[in-house]
Amino acid sequence: MHASVVPQSSVPASLPAALKSCTTLGLCTLAASLHALAICSSAFADRFITNALLNLYIKLPGFHHSFGTDEPSGEGGLESAAFESMRKVFDEILERDVVSWNTLILGCAENKRHHESLSMVREMWRDGFKPDSFTLL
């Protein structure tokens, strides 16, 4: 087997931990490769992987630069292109859960996008998910 070929069975189990490590260490280039691996291996359907990707976009707002977008930072918070990328990941989640919603809402709140946070709480309700104590922090 070539080193570039990854058995599909190993991708979903290890990818969330690898993405979290990239987030913690600020490794945008490796994170971009792992994001591509998730898409190519169909692991993108796994909610643990997509939640890890959401967290990555929130914690590393410059991450979108790895994909060639070169938009300046927004005032005091999550960059517009990073927010759009994060929202795209969220919109593509096949099986959303409260953790997915909380990650998105918290990311917006932490990055001074309060209007979007409140809007997403309403959207969460409309989609049939009840906010929990973490949502309301």
pTM, rounded to two decimals: 0.74
Sequence-distant (≥ 6) Cβ neighbours of residue 115 within 8 angstroms: none
Dump pLDDT digits (tens) for 55-110: 888 888 676 644 444 344 444 455 677 777 788 888 888 888 999 999 999 888 88
Count CB-CB contacts under 10 A for residue 100: 19
φ, ψ of residue 91 to 5 degrees: the values are: -65, -25
Tokens of 67: 């994909």
Q: Read out DSSP for 42-69?
A: TGGG-HHHHHHHHHHHHH-GGGGGGGT-
Q: List pLDDT tens digits, range 40-52.
A: 887 777 888 888 9
Q: Please tell me whether residue 6 adopts helix, strand or coil conformation.
A: coil
How do residues 96-129 score in pLDDT, each as one tens digit?
A: 899 999 999 988 888 788 899 999 999 999 999 9
**Mean pLDDT of all residues in 1-16:** 63
Cβ–Cβ < 8 Å for 24, 36: no
DSSP letters spanning 17-35: HHHHHHHHHT-HHHHHHHH
